[in-house]
Amino acid sequence: MNKALISFLVFVVGLGVFHNAIFPIFTPKEIGWILNRYVYFLLFVAYLIITNLVLRLKPPVAMTALFVWGLGFYFYKFVLYPPIPWTLFITYMVMWSIGTFLFISQDPETFREFRRPIVKTIVGEYKLAQIVVLTAMPILVGFATYNTIYPSYQEPVELRTVHPAPPATTKVHGKTYPLESTNNPFRVDEQDNYKDSFPFLDADKNEYMKYVTEGGTIFFQNCHYCHGDQLNGLGMFSHVFNPTPANFIDPGTIAMLQEAFLFWRVSKGGPGLPNESTPWSSAMPPWEEHLKTDEIWKVILFEYWYTGWHPRTFGTEGSTAG
């Protein structure tokens, strides 16, 4: 039997067996270090390599390229979880395709070998392949066209700026704050010596934990419905909002921002965002209408204390002598 055909069968049949029989075993409700989908994928790759090596199949370059490309597709489409958005999937697949191309074109010999079956198909030496390709291509193009023009009722995607540039100053309760130089007046412990303390127990012992406790109280009275009791953006109302409330645990949110930035965002809420951030599509109220200035600062203090992040600071060396 043709070795290339065996190699192809090893891939296709193996994929079928692995996906339907083994994949469910590796996706239990309680994910472990061994029983998880990524270990499953590595096992499948190992199976492919070992089988091809043991049987000395040496598939042609074009087929190897197909396997490599197919593995990428399978990983991004079925293994990676939760499913990634379409735009990201396309991006990843373009990259993987470029990688596959680099793999086959790494030297003239492999590239020539890769082209050989394609050329033979085009010139008609592989008659059956030519018929299949020439029949399948118009069908695929037609199907893609149909899919493109078929009306879709999904909301359109939007390019929204999550962290817009703040204004130079913001006016809250009649007072103007320059954002670059304003600090949290309640951050009395610069070293974060109490980051492992429990707020309510230490509240009476030192000033810093007293403010944190007060901030926590305000947070749970006002903010946790959306931002979550673990500050991970998964509050009880979070699933009905688009965009979803910010996840403060994520290193890409408050960990990257100055406290003054948060002060501006919390005070002005969704309606106070600049146009680039589509102020009409944020549900956060302007908290300056509900909280006092000190309360806003204390909530911010609590958010940093709880998540363990430290507010962003910027060096000032560049602004003196140029």
Partner 1 sequence: MLGKNKRSIATFSLGLILAMAMYLVPGMTSDAIAKEVFAEQVFAEEAFAKEVQAEEAVEGEGEAEIEWGQDVFYKDWEGNPLKGPVSGFPAPELGESDYNNYEFAPSRMLLWVANQQHLYFGSFVLAVPIFCMLIEFIGIRSKEEDPVMSAKYDRLAHDLMKVSLTAYSWTAILGGVLLFTFITLFPGFFKYMAGIFRPVMHVYALMFLAESGVLYVYYYGWDKMKEDKFLKWIHCSLSVLLNLIGTVLMYLANSWATFMQAPGGIDADGRFLGNIWHVIHSTLWNPVGVHRILGNIVFGGGIVGAYAAYHYLTAKTEEERAHYDWVCYVAMFIAIFGLIPLPFAGYWLMKEVYAFRQQMGITLMGGIMAWLFIIQAVMIGLLFFGANSYLHNGMSRVKGSHRYMKYCKYMILLLICCFTMWMTPHTIVMTPAELKAMGGAQHPVVGHFGVMSAKNTAVNLMITTTVLCFLLYQRANKKINVPWATVGNCWITAIFIGAAANIIFLGVYGYFLPANQRVGLSVPQVTTTLTTLFAGTAINISMFKDSESYGDIQWGTQSKVGTYAIFLLAISFTWLMGLMGYIRSAVRLFWHVTEVVRDNSVDAYTLTIGEAGKMLTFNTLFVWTQFVVVFWVGSLTGKKVVTQAPEGVPVPAQQQQ
Would you tell me which residues interact with partner 1 (CB under 8 A)? 80-88, 91-92, 95-96, 98-99, 102-103, 105-109, 111, 154-168, 179-180, 233-234, 239, 242-244, 246-247, 250-252, 255-258, 276, 309-322
Q: Are 265 and 279 in contact, with CB atoms under 8 Å apart?
A: no
Q: Using CB atoms within 10 Å of the CB of residue 148, give its burial: 0 to 12 exposed, 13 to 18 middle, 19+ buried.
A: exposed
Nearest approach in angstroms of CB 307 to partner 1 is 11
Contact 237, 310 (CB under 8 A): no
Residue 178 pairs in a beta bridge with 169
Residue 311 beta carbon to partner 1: minimum distance, rounded to whole angstroms: 8
Nearest distance from residue 308's CB to partner 1, in Å?
9
Q: Which is nearer to partner 1, 2 or 191 (CB)?
A: 191
Minimum CB distance to partner 1 smaller for 22 or for 234:
234
Supply the minimum distance, in Å, between the C-beta of residue 172 and partner 1. 18
Positive or negative, the CA dihedral 261, 262, 268, 274 is: positive
Closer residue to partner 1 (CB): 176 or 221: 176
Interatomic CA distance for residues 322 and 306, integer angstroms: 38
Closer Cβ to partner 1, 34 or 159, answer by number: 159
Give just the sign of the alpha carbon dihedral 249, 250, 256, 260. negative
∠ Cα 298 248 76 (to 5°)? 175
Closer CB to partner 1, 42 or 137, in the complex = 42
CB of 12 to partner 1, least distance (A): 23
- Smallest distance, Å, CB 162 to partner 1? 5
**Selection from 100, 122, 263 nearest residue 179 by Cα:** 263
Fill in the amino acid letter for 61: V
Sign of CA dihedral 45, 51, 56, 61: negative
Q: For residue 175, which phi and psi values (nearest 5 degrees)?
A: -115, 140
Nearest CB to partner 1, comparing residues 218 and 301: 301
